[in-house]
Every structure is written in C-alpha cells, then in structure tokens.
Amino acid sequence: MPRYFIEVAYVGTRYSGFQVQLNANTIQAEVARALKIFFGKEFELTGSSRTDAGVHAQQNFFHFDTDTEISNKAVYSLNSILPYDIVVKNIVEVKPEAHCRFNAISRTYHYYITRFKNPFYFDRSYYYPFKADISLLQELAIAITTFNDFTSFSKKKTQVKTFNCTIEYSRWVFEDNIWRYEVKADRFLRGMVKGLVGTMLKLSKHNKTIADLADIFEKQNSSAADFSVAPNGLFLMSVEFKESIFHNLA
C-alpha cells in the first residue's frame, strides 16, 4: 500500500500538543479531520516529532498509508479546511517502509526570548527581562555539545530506551532585544530544549560556571535542571531525513 509524508507547519498556542489526545484538541486531530472531510475517509496518522502544548513548528511531519490516489494538488483544498494556524506545506509519496519518526536523522529547534515586553511576540517568545551574562550563555551552549547523556534534561514519565543524544551544534544568537537559542541533534527527549534553555538562563543569572553545568549532567536527575521557561518560545524548525526514503520508489 502506498505511503505518504505530509509536511505541516503550525502555531501551537491554541493546541494541547502535536499528537492526538482524549478530550483535547491537537495538531494531529485537526489534520486528520481535514483529510476526512476532503477525501471522505479516515486516515491513521503517525507523527514525527511530538511537540508539547503551546510549541510551534516551521516543519513537522505525519505519514499515512492509503490506496486512495493522492497528489500534491490536495494541499490547497486541505488548507482551505484547516484552521488559520495550521498549514499543509507538502504531500509526497515515499517508500512503503519509510517512517517519519524513525527515519529522521536530525531535528533542529530554536527558542526565542524577548528582553523587553513586546505585544507582537507575546505568544511566540519567552519574556525574560532579568540579568544574564551573554558570554557565559554562549560558553554553556557550546559545552552542551560535549555531553551525550541527557537524562537530567528529560521530563519524567517518558518511555525511551536511552537518554543519549548527539548534539551537532548548540549556540545562542543575540540580535538587539531578541535572543535565539539554536540546537540541532539526532534526537531530542521530552522537554529537553526547554530544560537546556531554562538551566542555562538560571546558571547565567546566578553567575555559575561550566563546572556547575557538568554537575547537572552528572546527577542524571531531572530535578537538577530547570524546565520553567514557557513553551511559547519554542519552535521545531526542521526535520531531516535520508534522501533514499523519497527516491527510487518500488
């Protein structure tokens, strides 16, 4: 049976996360509803990256199997059905064994911070007017790439076999009154980016050192990290796959 990847983008402010939930509206629920309305049948969607409530995405994916012939022309019609804060960007057939979660080779997240209250960014950035040492923040971000076990930066009640992640880059970008943390890795744990951002801000605020960050990693306990930053500043920017899953269809 043919398999398709559907690429989406969304503002997560009004939703209780990416994956379908009972008694709560989610990105998956809205996309499934639009597909059902347009094609007249239900599709079983599998998600790529499970963003939490209030988190946004420039790029995320579902995959589904169907015998119904689907072309990219459906994008326009689906977007006319979807609410204003969710958009389908692309629908493409992939190899039958392709998996939008397990075949992803990397993901990139950005976290936005505004230093001054700004009504135009209130739902898409974290307002942080407190003192912070930007040089230390950058040092902490770079140091994060030297660690592999992110147990301390994973929320509890998560079902994973390992807490190991390989960070390709971790850095801060400071542009006037908007700060942006950028991180790319082969995988991310639940709450991991928020934990990294919150912990770096806390260490900077209290004039801590790289050794204090290392101590948090070594404790392998999420109570040692700070997850208190708001979800509205977090964006999933991209999900990358091996090119082979898109080409040479059998």
Q: In this predicted model, what pLDDT tens digit does every residue of 158-168 receive, in sequence order?
A: 778 899 999 99
Enter the tokens of residue 104.
């992803």
Report how far residue 55's alpha carbon sits from residue 53's, in angstroms, rounded to the nearest whole number.
6
Binding-site residue positions: 109
Report how far residue 51's alpha carbon sits from residue 18's, in angstroms, rounded to the nearest whole number.
5
Task: Please give the domain boundaries of the chain with CATH numbers for all domains.
Answer: 3-102 (3.30.70.580), 129-228 (3.30.70.660)
Local structure of residue 193 (DSSP, 8 states): H
Report how far residue 215's alpha carbon sits from residue 4's, in angstroms, rounded to the nearest whole number.
44
Q: What is the pLDDT of residues 166-191, one digit of tens each?
A: 999 999 999 989 999 999 999 999 99
Binding-site residue positions for substrate: 109
250 has a pLDDT exceeding 60: no
Percent with pLDDT over 90 in the chain: 87
Q: What is the pLDDT of residue 249?
A: 46
Do 150 and 192 meet the contact criterion of CB atoms below 8 Å apart? yes
Please indicate whether residue 67 is annotated as part of the active site.
no
Q: Please name the helix (run of DSSP H) or strand (run of DSSP E) that holds residue 32, with its range, or none.
A: helix 27-39
Range of lowest pLDDT (59-73, 101-115, 153-167, 235-249): 235-249
Q: What is the pLDDT of residues 83-123, one digit of tens each?
A: 999 999 999 999 999 999 999 999 999 999 999 999 999 99
Do 90 and 72 meet the contact criterion of CB atoms below 8 Å apart? yes
Closest CA to 55 of 97, 6, 103, 19: 19
Q: Which residue has the tokens 């999933």?
A: 236
Report how far residue 239's alpha carbon sits from residue 167's, in angstroms, rounded to the nearest whole number.
14
Closest CA to 219 of 168, 147, 162: 147
Query: What is the mean pLDDT of the segment spanning 26-54?
Result: 95
Question: pLDDT: is 242 or 100 the higher one?
Answer: 100
Query: What is the mean pLDDT of the segment spanning 55-81?
Result: 95
Report how far residue 7's alpha carbon sits from residue 75's, in angstroms, rounded to the nearest whole number.
10
pTM, two decimals, is 0.94
Enter the tokens of residue 139.
């040092």
Helix axes 134-144, 192-205, angle to 10 degrees: 140
Q: What is the pLDDT of residues 204-231, one digit of tens each?
A: 999 999 999 999 999 999 999 999 999 9
130 has a pLDDT exceeding 50: yes
Which residues face 24 on adjacent strands? 21
Angle, alpha carbons 236-238-241 (nearest 5°): 135
Q: What is the pLDDT of residue 247?
A: 58
What is the average pLDDT score of the chain? 94
Q: Which residues touch 43 (CB under 8 Å, ≥6 apart)?
A: 32, 35, 36, 64, 66
Which of 52, 123, 186, 226 is labelled catalytic?
52
